[in-house]
Structure 1
């Protein structure tokens, strides 16, 4: 009950962060670069592949185009979000006022909190449904870019004679000019995929969904084979 009350008291609005139903891949901050002095280790590079993806021409162009292509979905989601916020505000205001009474009715507060939480969850589901085409577009564009990322990385490594690439997360500090491969990989990626298709074909599903479906089908097939193998031979 205390947890529910605390959650409700935080506010009445539903954050329209759901507009990014599948959030864009955030660029991680690179570690602070060391001074240009020091011994340079040949064949070693550092690359932030997440940052490379979101800074690619294909990704940035798609982000701009999506605002126009899916304007109807964005507008519908915003209008519905505003409606839900207006609907929730008096409920939350009443809840907060009632719980500050000298002798608050705990049973009533629990009912109010449950009603508010239910409406919030329902609203979130509605917004996600409205923005499902946007989420699929984001996943589709990112998958197209990621399909070219490994080759872009290998090409950049070859041109710079790099044999090992580390993630910035694994490095405390490095000589940025000597080791940073981000721009090299980005250049290769922009050449490999200057633009991406924004709207996925009908019935398209993200890779993780396809892989999960394939694993499930394989597991079911294996179970069926095992069941067949344990059946007694017919006379």
Structure 2
């Protein structure tokens, strides 16, 4: 999964009473936890079910994407090998012919990426719609999990040097998501775009196999 959720704030502000450090609070321990937001979302029931539905609904596009990706990669490899052989024969010195060959390879790569984006467009749009529905409930899921665990501060795993598994409340956030959003639709409204925009530029499909993406994030 692209980093769709990492922009959400993972630390809730401490209250004025905490900041004032009264004698009672000064003796209390600040509760700190770690949450892997991407994992919580990817393992949520809504996301898992939606991915399974997408594999069925968009099977034709996924198969077309994978087949075309294999063909394009083979063609590009042939062109790269030919360019490498030409450079070796020329002793590594650029020539007008090699420059033209290189520019042709660059154009082919750009065209291949654009073609795969077009094929994968419906899949990318559906996935973005699912992620947006879940992200709308993520802040509440975090707050609920923090309250249940009596946590004052949440950090991303990459923001820590080391932590014990007991401070990881990713599973609790996932459970909260399952309660707040049991399912998500894979069919966006007509003209929908990420961020609630209507119309506009199309969603760019990642230049990776949708089938491969469906196995994890």
TM-score, length-scaled by structure 1: 0.67
- Paired with 1:171 and 1:124, the residues of 2 have a C-alpha distance of 36
**Unpaired segments ≥5 residues, structure 1:** 1-22, 29-39, 214-235
For residue 46 of structure 1, the aligned residue among 30, 34, 37 is: 34
Structure-1 residue corresponding to 2:145: 156
* Counterpart in the other structure of 1:73: 61
What is aligned with 1:210? 197
Q: 2-side partners of 1:120 and 1:59: how far apart?
A: 32
Give the paired residue count.
177
CA separation of 1:151/1:105 partners in 2, compared to 1, >3 Å: closer, same or farther?
closer
Counterpart of 1:59 (choices 32, 47, 52) is 47
- The answer as to whether partners of 2:4 and 2:131 remain within 8 angstroms in 1 is no
Q: Residues 54 and 101 from structure 1, CA distance in 2 versus in 1: closer, same or farther, beyond 3 angstroms?
A: same
Quick one: which of 114, 122, 129 aligns to 1:140?
129
Q: 1 CA distance for matches of 2:179 and 2:51?
A: 19
Provide closer, same or farther for how the CA distance between residues 142 and 106 of structure 1 changes in structure 2, counting only shifts above 3 A.
same
Of structures 1 and 2, the larger Rg is shown by 1
Gaps of at least 5 residues in structure 2 are 7-27, 201-217
Distance 1:166 1:97, change over 3 A: closer
Contact 2:5-2:135 within 8 A present in 1 as well: no
CA distance in 1, matches of 2:125, 2:96: 43
Q: RCO greater where, 1 or 2, for CA within 8 Å and sep 6 or more?
A: 2
Alignment correspondent of 1:7: none
Tell me how far apart the structure 2 counterparts of residues 84 and 120 of structure 1 sit (CA, whole Å). Answer: 9
In structure 1, how many angstroms separate the alpha carbons of the residues matched to 2:94 and 2:153?
A: 64
Q: How does 1:1-235 map to 2 (within 5 A)?
A: 23-25=1-3, 41-102=29-90, 106-177=95-166, 179-207=167-195, 210=197
Change (3 A) 1:47 1:41: farther
Root mean square deviation, CA, Å: 2.7
TM-score normalized with structure 2 length? 0.72
